[in-house]
Amino acid sequence: MRVVVDFDLCESNAVCMGIAPEVFEVRDDDFLYVLQEEPDEALRPKVEEAASRCPKQAITIEG
Amino acid sequence: MHTLERIVIVGASLAGLRAAETLRSEGFEGVITLVGDEPHAPYDRPPLSKQVLRGEWDGDRVALPAGRNEALDLTWELGVVATGLDLERRTVVLADGRALPFDGLVIATGAAPRHIPGTEHLAGVFALRTIDDATAVRGALDAGASRVVVVGAGFIGAEVAASCRERGVDVTMVEPLPAPLARVLGLEVGEVIADLHREHGVDLRLETGVESITEGSDGAALRVQLTDERVVGADLVVVGIGVSPNTGWLHGSGLMIEDGVLCDDTTMAAPGVVACGDVARWPNPLFGEVMRVEHWEHALDMGAHAARRLLAGDGPGEPFAPVPFFWSDQYDRKIQLAGRVRPTDQVEVVAGSLDGRRFCALYGRDGRVVGALTMNMPARVIRYRRQIAEGLGWDRALAAAAEAAAPKGP
């Protein structure tokens, strides 16, 4: 599984960070950082939840 | 408990669609029928007052992907208005005379904008709720409307004002309260938002209402008479004075209607009937308050919860206890609130500053943190959201914030 964020769409709402803090982190500079681009399969449900709840639909999962 | 074979979802927007998705992801294999009064496939509303109004996005870009997901195997009744509910026969009555039978019902009919009485017939006066509204307002702007009056400085009004200013249009925003959003966020934060709009050139008329709107005679299309006796000419008026839940079709059904469909704490309104989104009122055990919430994320959460509740059947069901959350984008500022706040709450800025328009403010009541509001500090609001769900105490929160702000020693 590979996590891809469309940074043209991302508005740093940080909703994803609330759901999967292991993968997504919005820092004090207000930018989103993807901490693991290829997270462990065990994180899939959380990452899928984060993708579906992104207000900008900026997160996609490949594979 | 009957077997669930046919589920009808009335309301084909975010909450209803998420309920449908969740029914499928939880393994429901029966027929799901979605009834929507708009002719359009489900779409996302937040961009309407922003990207769509600014002219950056076309209307078709707001479609919700799940609405086009054929794997969900949904049956659509779009452009169809539900006019009644017969709980005895277990049918939803439609405007065209048909009756849709159901074993399980999800009520997700949302809310409709309030209008200023006497303006319904006027061209150039709009609410902003649907894609058709947004297309009409944008059309008026594209056609050269250069003077806009925004009635109501709530979230919709404030976002419309910001989008219009970004298009270079003159904006007068009229608000009966002493500051924008004062009823929700209190005066102190409301004044920050007032300054933000003034700085961007909005002519903000506070503590002022609209007396009447009539057709103009002096070149302007519309004449807006304010309660302070002044008159403003406008090509376009956008009214954002709140919404009312769409419960008219449920009158006489036997369901409890009190500014929304009254549910138990699990989202159930009657056996086999659940409600979610803007139309639903339920006791949130986390705040000890019966509430109705109109936020985007709430529609998702409650839609999913209501679907699971329906599938649980006669079982007890889980209480629905979210920390409400919303965001609003105005100019280059992102305002986010987690929690349930009142203007009478204690307010303490724990990071950043109001003057700098980058801050985090906590709202407290009865020794607990009940809300966190941020402007351009998204990570903080998300962290506080989790802590509010865990029952974060007021004193502990202030101490932790002071410690985090202190210079790291030695």
- Amino acid type, B345: D
**Is the predicted pLDDT of residue A3 greater than 60, yes or no?**
yes
Could you tell me if A30 lies within 8 Å of chain B, comparing CB atoms? yes
pLDDT, residue B162, reads 97
- What number is the average pLDDT over the span A22-47? 92
- Asked if A57 is an interface residue toward chain B (Cβ–Cβ < 8 A), one would say yes
State the pTM of this model: 0.94
Q: Is the model's pLDDT at B178 over the cut of 80? A: yes
Residue B183's pLDDT band, with cuts at 50, 70 and 90, is confident
Residue B200's pLDDT is 98
pLDDT score recorded for residue A55? 87
Whether A62 and chain B come into contact, CB under 8 Å, resolves to no
Q: What kind of architecture, by CATH, is found in domain B115-239?
A: 3-Layer(bba) Sandwich (3.50)
A36–chain B Cβ distance below 8 A for any pair = no
* pLDDT interval class at B114 (50, 70, 90): very high
Confidence at B120, pLDDT banded by 50, 70, 90: confident
| Chain B interface residues (partner A, CB cutoff 8 A) | 46, 65, 296-297, 300, 325, 327, 329, 334, 336, 376-379, 381-382, 385-386
CA angle B376, B380, B382 (to 5 degrees): 105
Q: Sketch the domain layout of chain B as residue ranges.
A: 6-112+243-312, 115-239, 332-404
> Do B115-239 and B6-112+243-312 fall under one CATH topology?
yes
Res. A56 pLDDT band, cuts 50 70 90: confident
SS3 (DSSP) at B132: helix
- Quick one: tokens of B86? 């017969």
Facing A13 at nearest CB: one of B300, B327, B386: B327
- Please name which of B82, B37, B46, B61 lies closest in space to residue B300, comparing C-alpha atoms: B46
Closest in B296, B376, B379 to A55, CB measured = B296
**Which two tokens mark A48?**
């899928």
- With bands split at pLDDT 50, 70 and 90, how would you rate the model's confidence at B219? low
Q: Which of A9, A17, A26 to mutate to test the interface with B (most CBs of B within 10 A)?
A: A26
At A21, the amino acid letter reads P
pLDDT in tens, B250-278: 999 999 999 999 999 999 999 999 999 99
State mean pLDDT over B333-347. Answer: 94
How far CA B65 is from CA of B6, B45, B52, B141, B165, in Å, comes to 24, 13, 18, 28, 31
Query: For the domain that residue A37 is a member of, what is the CATH number?
Result: 3.30.70.20
Range of the domain at A24: 2-62
Between B287 and A63, where is the model more confident? B287
Which residues are CB-neighbours of B345 under 8 A, at least 6 positions away? B186, B363, B364, B365, B370, B371
User: How far A37 CA lies from chain B's nearest CA (Å)?
Assistant: 20
- CB-closest option in B297, B327, B376 to A30: B376
Please check the confidence at residue A41 and state whether its pLDDT lies above 80.
yes
Is residue B410's pLDDT more than 70?
A: no
Measured between beta carbons, the chain A residues lying within 8 angstroms of B65 are: 57
Give DSSP secondary structure letters for A12-53: ---HHHHH-TTTEEE-TTS-EEES-SS--GGGHHHHHHHHHH
**At residue B1, does pLDDT exceed 70?**
no
Q: Å from B84 to nearest chain A CA?
A: 32
List B8's β-bridge partners, or say none.
B33, B105
Cα of B328 to nearest chain A Cα, Å: 10
pLDDT, tens only, B53-66? 999 998 888 999 88
pLDDT (tens digit per residue) in B68-105: 899 999 999 999 999 999 999 999 999 999 999 999 99
B216 pLDDT band, cuts 50/70/90, is confident
**Is B242 in contact with B260 (CB distance < 8 Å)?**
no
CA distance to partner chain B, nearest, from residue A18 (Å): 6
What per-residue confidence (pLDDT) applies to B193?
96
Q: Provide the shortest C-alpha distance from residue A57 to chain B (in Å).
A: 9
Cβ–Cβ under 8 Å, residues B207 and B178: yes
Pairwise CA distance, residues B242 & B113, whole Å = 6
Pick among B25, B305, B359, B382 to test the A interface (most A CBs inside 10 A):
B382
Chain B residue numbers touching A26 (CB-CB < 8 A)? 378-379, 382
Please state the rounded mean pLDDT for residues B178-185: 91
Topology of the domain comprising B332-404:
Enolase-like; domain 1 (3.30.390)
pLDDT at B279 over 80: yes
According to DSSP, the residues that pair with B110 across neighbouring strands are: none
Nearest CB neighbour to B300, from listed A14, A25, A53: A53
Query: From the CA of B326, how many Å to the nearest CA of chain A?
Result: 10
Q: For chain A, what is the domain count?
A: 1
Residue B65: predicted pLDDT: 87
Asked whether residue B2 carries a pLDDT value surpassing 90, the answer given is: no
CA B183 to chain centre: 16
Q: Quick one: closest CA in A to B45, which residue?
A: A55
Across the interface, do B379 and A14 touch by the CB < 8 Å criterion? yes
- Among residues B118, B236, B224, B120, the alpha carbon closest in space to that of B170 is found at B236
- A45 shares contact with chain B (CB less than 8 Å): no
- In this predicted structure, which of A20-24, A52-56, B257-261, B335-339 has the lowest mean pLDDT? A52-56
CB B323 within 8 Å of CB B339: yes
Using an 8 Å CB-CB cutoff, list chain B residues near A27: 379
ipTM exceeding cut-off 0.95 for this assembly? no
Q: How far apart are CA B179 and CA B195, in angstroms?
A: 10
A52-55: which pairs have CB atoms within 8 A and are 24 or more residues apart? A53/A15, A53/A16, A53/A19, A53/B297, A53/B300, A54/A13, A54/A15, A54/A16, A55/A11, A55/A13, A55/A15, A55/B46, A55/B296, A55/B297, A55/B327
| pLDDT value of residue A40 | 95
In the predicted model, what is the mean pLDDT of chain B?
Answer: 95
Nearest to A55 among B46, B377, B379 (CB): B46
Interface touch A17/B379, C-beta < 8 Å = yes
The mean per-residue pLDDT over the stretch B356-367 comes to 96
What is the architecture of the domain spanning B6-112+243-312?
A: 3-Layer(bba) Sandwich (3.50)
Q: Which candidate, B283, B339, B274, B327, places its Cα nearest to that of B305?
A: B274
Separation between Cα atoms, residue B383 and residue B37, nearest integer Å? 38
Contacting residues for B95 by C-beta, under 8 A, at least 6 apart = B80, B81, B82, B83
Average pLDDT over residues B281-291: 97
- Asked whether the predicted pLDDT for residue A48 surpasses 70, the reply is yes
Query: CA torsion angle for B236, B128, A50, A34 (degrees, to 10)?
Result: 10
A57 neighbourhood in chain B, CB within 8 Å: 65
Residue A10: other Cβ atoms inside 10 A: 16
